[in-house]
Amino acid sequence: MPEAGLKELLEAGVHFGHQTRRWNPNMRRYIFGELDGIHIIDLVQTEELLENARRFAGELASGGGTVLFVGTKKQARSAVETWAQKCQMPFVSQRWLGGLLTNFNTISARISRLHELTGWQEEGKLDLLPTKERMGMQAELTKLEYNLGGVRDMERLPDAVFVTDLKTEEIAVREAVRLRIPIIGLVDTNCDPTQIDYVIPGNDDAIRSCELVIGTIGGAIESGAGAWRQQEEKRIAEEMERRRKEEEERKKREEEEKARLEAEQAAQAAAESGEPRPAGPEGSSSSRDDAAGKDPSSAPPAGGAPKQGAASAPAQPGAGASPAATSTKGQA
């Protein structure tokens, strides 16, 4: 990040303030003295406060924050546009449109209209309209470009506002204070620093002074924003890679599940086709016996003959009787 030392501040004329009769008493603590009726700003404090503001802006940008550059006076206009475009931050360099912060919903609608007209112009649709309508839309596009061209990519309220002249940008300061947005301000001896969060005492009327201060803050924002974009790109790439791997794993699981179901269905079909069909009337008994695992030769013969080992018929009376039983019967 570029740093501005005492030598650079002195060479740029940052120490020159306004005439002593046009000073603000609240700037007393930042004034070193006076010379030929002009207040001299204490550059030691300016260097320290500029470093604090630079560090704050760099940390804010490195976290993905947005800083709105505001500088509509001709001394700071060019530097504001240059550094804001380098940092890819929104800026206002022509005219502060009232309600840009406090009425951001309406401004967002006008920004959408600006994008719409710009798209029509790039696609050549405006040339197809009747002359009166085309001229009206071109005039509207020119006006929107003048007022909102620098904030066309601002989708939400900024996280901080960098103001180069508190007198000229009084409305912008009031809106930022009302919304409690931190303000980084280049404050001259004729301004009130009480509402500024990060005061940078210095000359806001010299071109070199404005360029030095804006370049210092802009360089810190550019470095921080660049580091954040690299991290964001890396995070997005990792997220895309993770999603791609998850999608591949999901497809692989689906294919495996599909193959398993197909294998089960094939096995079931093979089992059904391998079962024996029922035989006709002639071989029904032998088929049943075979299915039951019995030998047909072991079946009982026709006629209901008793099986081997069954009990024999009862013996005839008197046959095989003992002599004792016979003699007993004769005596009786």
Rounded to the nearest 10°, the torsion over CA 136, 146, 66, 197 is -130
Higher pLDDT among residues 328 and 186, named by residue: 186
| Strand bridging mode 16-19 / 38-41 | antiparallel
* H or E stretch at 282: none
pLDDT tens digits, one per residue of 25-67: 999 999 998 888 899 999 999 999 999 999 999 999 988 899 9
* 305: Cα separation from own chain's centroid: 94
Give the chain's mean pLDDT: 82
Rounded to two decimals, what is the model's pTM? Answer: 0.70
What's the rounded Cα separation, in Å, for the pair 305 and 323?
35
Kindly report, residue by residue over 134-193, the tens digit of the pLDDT.
899 999 999 999 999 899 989 899 999 999 989 899 999 999 999 999 999 999 999 999
214 φψ region: left (φ > 0), alpha (ψ -120 to 50), beta (else): alpha
